[in-house]
Each structure stands twice: as C-alpha cells, then as structure tokens.
Amino acid sequence: MNYSCLTELTDHGPNPYVANMEQLEQRNTNFRTAIWTGEHLQMTLMCIPSFGEIGLENHKDTDQVIRIEEGNAIVRMGKCKNHLDFQRSVCKGDIVFVPAGIWHNITNVERNPLKISSIYAPPHHPRGTMHRTKADEEREHFYM
C-alpha cells in the first residue's frame, strides 16, 4: 500500500493515511463522505448547500469535533431537543466541540456551500459511508 498524500474521496481507514485537507474539501461535493474510519475514530467531510443544514441530531455515545473548512454558519446546541440554548456564529477555521448526548445542528447562512470536517470518537457512521445528498442520508436512516 502506498501511504503517500492520497486525495481520493473514499474511506481509507483503518490503514495509515495522509491527505491534503484543502484538496479533499475542495473535491468533496457530497453531503457526507467518510474519509477515514478506524476502530476508535472517524473523519467525515460534509458539503452543506446554500442555506441548508446538517439537521438536528444527537449522538448518545459519541463525542464530535466539527471544523469549519469554508463558509459561515450558525451552530445551535442544547441538552434538550426543543431547547437549544447554546448558539454561536462560526466561520472558516472555527472548531465546534459537541459532547456525547448533546443535541446540535449547524446551518449554512450563505449562498455558497458550507464545507466542514467532522471527527467522531468512536466512529458514528459505517465504514465507507457516502451520502450524495441529505435526502440520501435520511432514506438510509429510515431503512436502518
């Protein structure tokens, strides 16, 4: 296996892997693409369309770190689904830490796509996850 700087949009875990993050983010147009899934950690890339959102979610047993790679957004979080009492504006370079069990959503506030990277510990999505659109993800969760 060649461990050079591969920028292929596929899940390279659990093998050793080095990539250029800027190139990966620029190439990713999928709602979600798993780039690396190991036993205890996972990284995905997301491309949120103009004024779109990740969608309100809660990972009961998974901590999450979200980095804004490109664009501007609003992040909302809270302990209750109907009471998101934490709200911040975020932009390129900002990092959002989401503790396990916290409800959260990120909304793109621009006409350009919002590009983010997300690290889950432990992994949250099956290895090789790729959702071209938010609707694809919703269909997959419906049938799970």
What kind of fold does domain 21-143 have according to CATH? Jelly Rolls (2.60.120)
Question: Between the CA of residue 32 and those of 70, 82, 122, 133, what are the distances in Å?
Answer: 15, 25, 17, 8
pTM of the entire predicted model: 0.90
Q: Each residue's pLDDT tens digit in the chain (144 positions)?
A: 444 455 678 999 999 999 999 999 999 999 999 999 999 999 999 999 999 999 999 999 999 999 999 999 999 999 999 999 999 999 999 999 999 999 999 999 999 999 999 999 999 999 999 999 999 888 876 554
For tokens 């009961």, what's the residue? 60
Distance CA 16, CA 50 (A): 34
